[in-house]
Structure 1
Amino acid sequence: MALDITTARGAMTGARYIDSLRDGRDVWLDGKRVDDVPSHPAFSGMVNELARIYDLQHTEKHRDTMTFVSDETGNRCSVSWLLPRSLEDLKKKRRNSEVWTAESWGQLGRSPDVLAPYIISLYKSRERLSAVKHPHCDFGENIVNYHRYCMENDLFLTHALGDPQVDRSEQPQNEQRAKREEDLALHVVEETPEGIIIAGGKQLATAAPISNETYSSLSATFANRADPRFILAFSIPTNSKGMKILCREPVSVWNGSYGHPLGVPYDEQDSMLFFDNVLVPWDRVFMLYESGPLLRDFAAGINFTEWANLCRIHERMKLMTAVATMIAEAIGVLEYREVAAKVGEMTMYTQMWHHAMEGVEHGAHMGEGGVMALGSMAGMNIYFAQTSARMVQLLREVSGSGLIMQPSENDLANPELRPYLDRYMRGKSVDAEYKSRLYRLAHDLAVSSSGMRQEVYEYWHGGDPNRNRINLLRGYDQSDIRARIEELVSRPLPHGESGV
């Protein structure tokens, strides 16, 4: 039985996670099939880091923060999968997310802690899902069972929401699109007694080659389809027969000993998924042919429904601000008025995000389906898409040309070169090692291919910023202030004396 939990072992361990990736998944990189994902240089840094953090769940220091005891099985399960029923549960989930994000420096937009809120969001909507009837299954019951299965096994999910970027003039976000959709996007080919057969492509599945399961649904941009065959939501094992994973160029593989403290251990990988007549069993289908029950989750900003991304973004902001401060100190410019103002601007963004987090926690309430929800986060995804790019630019301006030229670890270890480095590449009261390594960290945030990939990711992570701004405007209640303005301009305005 696909969703049986009799052998579930609760919170993931590092060794169990690594072993789970050796399941025959069809992963491709640079024209070659990857035989062993955990040991491949493009993936091993990230896999080993996740394994390390998984093991923290079982340490005395973090066990009670990162896990809870399942009422059904007695397993210790990850707090990422906890259904919050009280304010204290929400606080516990915040503490768990803070551990995940601090341990990974806020770099992982698709950590195991991030996708659990997607499934929990569907769990909250289970009655709406069940209201859509299908003779083969109950969609709401499926999501309840699937959440239980993920929780008891502590599975790592990726998601794939977007359509292939082929001819967007013919795709559903274009109001002039053709009535018939081209069969490039993921769609139902046929129904069988075992499940649905699907075919098509999906992008962009971050962490797909290193995940346990792939959740696929619609993005807000592509939700309104001309053909109901393209409306589906489901989750399948990442090694499902007929699903190919094509990886982008890694940002974790480098020549030489130049430091990449973020790129090497935290390259999540982003992938295209190709579905070639893949079977999705009926008990793994969460919606079919009707988008209505899914659209409400889009309106809520599904990427920002729980603490995982809020905490991650705060950690990333703190990291960029601290690195900028330390570099300014290391080269003796922090007291310069213009430099201090730039770092102060970064501090402002970081503090504003913290205040917003406190605000959404203060607005916590009992939500749909008997599950606690944080307060409104309207606009926060847009705010970060804008401020992240600004903070990267400020880091570049504070750091100056040192971002481009710093010695490698081999340079630092070379006795012939070292005297020159100590004389010409040290900083203010800091040696060449400290300064160069600090600058390499800044380089990975603001200059390297890893840093640039991260910034593109942050811009699109909350969805299309332009669409989000439009939706924010359309949903913003201005009725009270508009009525007052209309009343003000309905009569002559105060004015000066005529002829004066």
Structure 2
Amino acid sequence: MIRTGAQYLEGLKDGREVYIDGERVKDVASHPALAPIVAAKARMYDLHHEAEAAPKLTYSDADGIHSVFQQPPRTQEDWHRKWAALDLLLQDLGGVATRMGDETIGEMWSLQDGRDILAGIDPRFADNIDRHIRDVIVKDPFHVSANTDPKGDRSRPIEQRDPDMMIRVTKETDKGVIIRGAKFETAAPYADQAYLKPTVGAWTDEKESIHAVGCIVRMGAPGVKHICRAGFAHVGDPRDNPIASRFDEVEALVVFDDVLVPWEDVFFYRHTRAAQQVRATLHRYSAFPYVLRLLYVADAMIGVAMWNARQTGLEKLQAVQEKLADLVCYREGIRAHLAASIALAEPSPAGLLMPNQSILYAGRVMACSQLPVMMHAARELIGGQICVTPDAAQFDGEAGQWLRKFYTLNDQWDADDRRKLLAYARDLLNSGYAGHRLAFVQFAQAPHFNHLAAVYKSFDFSGPLDFVKRAASLSDKVDGASVKPVGKAAA
């Protein structure tokens, strides 16, 4: 039941409207800005069919064989298998790709957790949730998340802005709803479908809103237009951009120009309470693979810094070891939060097993907020050559004899290996692509204040309150029982 890479590529030939560098893309899979990351996703599909990898990437049920990445988690072992599967994939690809589908399907599981709440608001759409989750398992589409609206001038109330600044329903028909607006999305130009939902609430006491809509939109549907940012993959020599040339996940402003969404693809509509429920629980599963990606980013920083220390003979210096230890503590901090969130996982209303919410969200804050600090620590370990090393063409040219002389370190480390390491380090830490990725991490699931809000709402304050109440001999009139974690109280 799992698609092959060829089937995925064939599915992209649906006449989708994609624009990049001021021109319409004729073939998404072959355009130089998109081809490398499309090939990475195709490789993800093909890997499931290889004899050695298949047992680690698949599971079976009455309907056939399916991807571990799409499997709703019900046990701790399910989470450990997902972790091992991502490790296998990224090791095979030789780098980190964030939007591959496994990190967005969790948003659908969150939707299923709130199914009864949504059914109580409007029972028409509840069955759509169950069917779509099953469709993802059986049909194995590349499923992404449609989240951030342009929003416009946020100092004004919604009704005073251009109404298209936030996705809205303009018309109801017998076939479905017609939507207008736009979303910024990663990987949408080469995905099959997106889960579209409102951004964090702009509602106060409104019970209904045309902007309160959650649905599945096909990325090749009529009226869907993908206007991509400039890519990194096809700019310059790949030898100088060893990461960007392979793993640039091109974002796009996806315009929905009177797009028909069939009723069977609608999960909620009009009711602001439904939209707020969805936003409150959106990342309870998807935060795990998102934070897990940063574990591999940490490994890349440790690896490039340690190789540099060994190349230059500075590995035994205490100051260098201390800096490397800082990177290791960051890396192990991420791993500890992920492991603990599985070990203390919590049952969900839909019968799934969600990572411990407080621990997972705290890990996300740590991983995201400390990434800029750790990137700079890695830069310090590598030194100034990261920003002054000439491009690869210079090593091949007339001046190459001098570059080979001054970039050769010893019999073990020649100029070619030295240049390759510095080029990788630059693309990881210091290039335009590196800056883009850093900004992406800070906002991909929400800005920092929302990360902190998730921690606040999921942490159980009753333990610390009770401890201090007893330790300070506070009277029984003081009651902290009302402070409960969202993960337990509203899960």
Give TM-score, length-normalised by structure 2. 0.89
Alignment partners' CA distance in 2, 1:372 and 1:193: 38
Q: Superposition pairs for residues 315-330 of structure 1, below 5 Å?
A: 315-330=296-311
Give the corresponding residue for 1:86.
75
1:16 matched to 2:45? The reply is no
- The answer on whether the counterparts of 1:242 and 1:276 sit within 8 Å (CA) in structure 2 is yes
1:64 matched to 2:55? The reply is yes
Distance 1:291 1:66, change over 3 A: farther
Give the corresponding residue for 2:136.
150
- The answer on whether the counterparts of 1:328 and 1:399 sit within 8 Å (CA) in structure 2 is yes
Which residue identity does 1:466 align to in structure 2?
A: F
Residue 479 (structure 1) shift: 4.4
Alignment partners' CA distance in 1, 2:284 and 2:352: 17
Give the corresponding residue for 2:420.
437
Alignment partners' CA distance in 2, 1:326 and 1:69: 42
Give the corresponding residue for 1:496.
none
Residue 398 (structure 1) shift: 1.3
1:112 matched to 2:101? The reply is yes
Structure 2 residues without counterparts, runs of 5 or longer: 475-491
Alignment partners' CA distance in 2, 1:90 and 1:446: 30
Alignment partners' CA distance in 2, 1:92 and 1:482: 37
Distance 1:182 1:438, change over 3 A: same
Alignment partners' CA distance in 2, 1:358 and 1:487: 32
Distance 1:39 1:480, change over 3 A: closer
Alignment partners' CA distance in 2, 1:29 and 1:444: 22
Give the corresponding residue for 2:39.
48
Residue 418 (structure 1) shift: 3.8
Structure 1 residues without counterparts, runs of 5 or longer: 1-9, 171-176, 492-500
Which residue identity does 1:423 align to in structure 2?
A: K
Residue 94 (structure 1) shift: 2.4
Distance 1:468 1:53, change over 3 A: closer
1:214 matched to 2:197? The reply is no
Alignment partners' CA distance in 2, 1:352 and 1:278: 44
Give the corresponding residue for 2:349.
368
SS at match of 1:302: coil
Which of 84, 100, 105 does residue 89 from structure 2 map onto? Answer: 100
Distance 1:257 1:283, change over 3 A: closer
Which residue identity does 1:322 align to in structure 2?
A: G
- The answer on whether the counterparts of 2:32 and 2:234 sit within 8 Å (CA) in structure 1 is yes
Which of 439, 448, 457 does residue 465 from structure 1 map onto? Answer: 448
Distance 1:327 1:118, change over 3 A: same
Residue 271 (structure 1) shift: 0.9
1:192 matched to 2:173? The reply is yes
Alignment partners' CA distance in 2, 1:303 and 1:168: 27
Alignment partners' CA distance in 1, 2:204 and 2:58: 39
Percent identical across equivalent pairs? 24
Which residue identity does 2:297 align to in structure 1?
A: R
SS at match of 1:196: strand
Residue 326 (structure 1) shift: 1.0
Give the corresponding residue for 1:425.
407
Give the corresponding residue for 1:336.
317
Give TM-score, length-normalised by structure 1. 0.87
Distance 1:294 1:109, change over 3 A: farther
Residue 107 (structure 1) shift: 2.7
Residue 486 (structure 1) shift: 6.2
Alignment partners' CA distance in 1, 2:46 and 2:199: 33
Alignment partners' CA distance in 2, 1:159 and 1:478: 32
Give the corresponding residue for 2:339.
358
Which residue identity does 1:81 align to in structure 2?
A: Q
Instruction: Map Cα deviations across residues 285-330 of structure 1 (whole Å, 9 max, x no partner).
Output: 0111124345345434617546422332211111111111111222
Alignment partners' CA distance in 2, 1:13 and 1:347: 37
Give the corresponding residue for 2:223.
242
Which residue identity does 2:43 align to in structure 1?
A: R
Which residue identity does 2:60 align to in structure 1?
A: V
Instruction: Map Cα deviations across residues 228-264 of structure 1 (whole Å, 9 max, x no partner).
Output: 1000111121011111111001111223454212101
Distance 1:419 1:247, change over 3 A: same
Residue 196 (structure 1) shift: 0.3
Residue 406 (structure 1) shift: 2.8
Moved segments of 4+, more than 6 Å:
486-491
- The answer on whether the counterparts of 1:77 and 1:151 sit within 8 Å (CA) in structure 2 is yes
Equivalenced residues, count:
469
- The answer on whether the counterparts of 2:110 and 2:285 sit within 8 Å (CA) in structure 1 is no
Residue 165 (structure 1) shift: 4.6
SS at match of 1:113: coil
RMSD of equivalent CA atoms: 2.4
Distance 1:372 1:474, change over 3 A: closer
Give the corresponding residue for 2:480.
none
- The answer on whether the counterparts of 2:361 and 2:451 sit within 8 Å (CA) in structure 1 is no
Distance 1:160 1:306, change over 3 A: closer
Q: Superposition pairs for residues 166-185 of structure 1, below 5 Å?
A: 166-170=152-156, 177=157, 182-183=162-163, 184-185=165-166
Alignment partners' CA distance in 2, 1:42 and 1:437: 22
Residue 276 (structure 1) shift: 1.1
Alignment partners' CA distance in 2, 1:378 and 1:399: 31
Which of 109, 134, 139 does residue 125 from structure 2 map onto? Answer: 139
Alignment partners' CA distance in 2, 1:303 and 1:104: 27
Residue 40 (structure 1) shift: 0.5
Which residue identity does 1:61 align to in structure 2?
A: E
Which residue identity does 1:210 align to in structure 2?
A: Y
Which of 89, 94, 112 does residue 123 from structure 1 map onto? Answer: 112
- The answer on whether the counterparts of 1:187 and 1:198 sit within 8 Å (CA) in structure 2 is yes
Alignment partners' CA distance in 2, 1:89 and 1:439: 39
Which of 262, 285, 303 does residue 281 from structure 1 map onto? Answer: 262
Distance 1:467 1:427, change over 3 A: same
Q: Superposition pairs for residues 392-411 of structure 1, below 5 Å?
A: 392-411=375-394
